[in-house]
Amino acid sequence: MEKRIRAPFLFIAVILIIACVLLELGGTAALNATPIGGWLHDLQGKTADVDTLLSETGLFDDIDIAEATKSVNSEIRSPRGFGVLYLAVIDGIFAFTLISTASGLIIPQGIQAQAQGVVTCLYSMSTCLAGIAAIYVALAALILMVALLLAIPFGTIVYFIKFADFNRGTPMAILGLTMLLKICAVIMLPLAHQAFLTRLGLIVLILASIISNLIVAFLLALPPGFLVSITDAIAGIIVAIIGVICSIPLFIGSILSIISVLSFLRKAARV
């Protein structure tokens, strides 16, 4: 198929997906991301107001805000914007698949056949491990936020101070742009070669990428503003799980490819 591929369209698709991944990775900087472990620093200016409020009411004199916030300063350090950031796991697999195909137009087939299995194995394994780690981080943050929200009254106050102001306008804009980039990349693929439409694995990967984009957008747009931080973490967990699932067939295929290459080399050595 490689000889009949219209290279410019394929290269455009690769560039678009790479741009999509870079946008998702860099998008958290635009979300005013701060480590959860940095709550104390952010709360310093607001704790006094809360102390004043509680002291005036006299209802919670036994609560030391400063000491309680230290317990919130956990070891969990993760950026806000889980959904947008974790989309890079799936789209990274998409980009890697296209890059592997495009590399066949530049690298000699013999060299590519021997190296691609190993490279794919390493990439899929690292992606799977990164996805599992991402699930753990998002799940820990989700549990922490839910626990704070339900820990009336003080935990709820801390939650509203830190998480109730999630700015969903920026991630929604990023999601809209990444969706546009994905659609353009998908259009480029059949223009590069019609056989791309018959590759089941690629079609499933495209659907997973687009559906994940829609899931994140839905979970950010659906709830009231003060719950968006929680649904964003849920979106991140769902997307990371999908990314891990997508990396497994890639890993299995790479192992089979390595076995095939080794078998071929063994037969060639015997001859």
Question: In angstroms, rounded to a whole number, what is the distance separating the alpha carbons of residues 101 and 8?
Answer: 13
- pLDDT-based confidence at residue 40 (cuts at 50, 70, 90): very low
Q: What is the mean pLDDT of residues 112-134?
A: 86
Percent of the chain residues topping a pLDDT of 90 = 35
Q: Are 116 and 100 in contact (CB under 8 A)?
A: yes
**Strand boundaries in the chain, DSSP class E:** none
CA-to-CA separations, 196 to 75, 123, 167, 247, in angstroms, rounded: 45, 22, 38, 19
Question: In angstroms, rounded to a whole number, what is the distance separating the alpha carbons of residues 249 and 120?
Answer: 11
Q: Lowest-confidence range among 25-34, 59-68, 262-271?
A: 59-68
pLDDT at position 265 is: 64
92 pLDDT exceeds 90?
yes
pLDDT at position 217 is: 92
Helix axes of 169-192 and 7-26: crossing angle, nearest 10 degrees: 160
Q: pLDDT tens for residues 131-171?
A: 999 999 999 989 998 998 888 888 888 888 888 888 888 88
Q: Is 211 exposed, middle or buried (CB count within 10 Å of its CB: 0-12, 13-18, 19+)?
A: middle
User: What b/e string do you get for 90-112 counting C-beta neighbours within 10 Å, with b at 16 or more?
Assistant: bbbbbbbbbebbbbbeeeeeeeb
pLDDT at position 1 is: 47
Q: What are 127's two structure tokens?
A: 């992606």
Better-predicted residue by pLDDT, 154 or 64:
154
Percent of the chain residues topping a pLDDT of 70 = 73
Question: In angstroms, rounded to a whole number, what is the distance separating the alpha carbons of residues 205 and 193?
Answer: 17
Question: In angstroms, rounded to a whole number, what is the distance separating the alpha carbons of residues 109 and 112?
Answer: 5
pTM, whole model, 2 decimals? 0.76
- pLDDT-based confidence at residue 197 (cuts at 50, 70, 90): confident
pLDDT at position 5 is: 78
Better-predicted residue by pLDDT, 164 or 42:
164
Q: Are 43 and 73 in contact (CB under 8 A)?
A: no
- pLDDT-based confidence at residue 79 (cuts at 50, 70, 90): very low
Q: Lowest-confidence range among 29-38, 98-107, 127-136, 261-270?
A: 29-38
Q: Are 247 and 88 in contact (CB under 8 A)?
A: no
pLDDT at position 143 is: 92
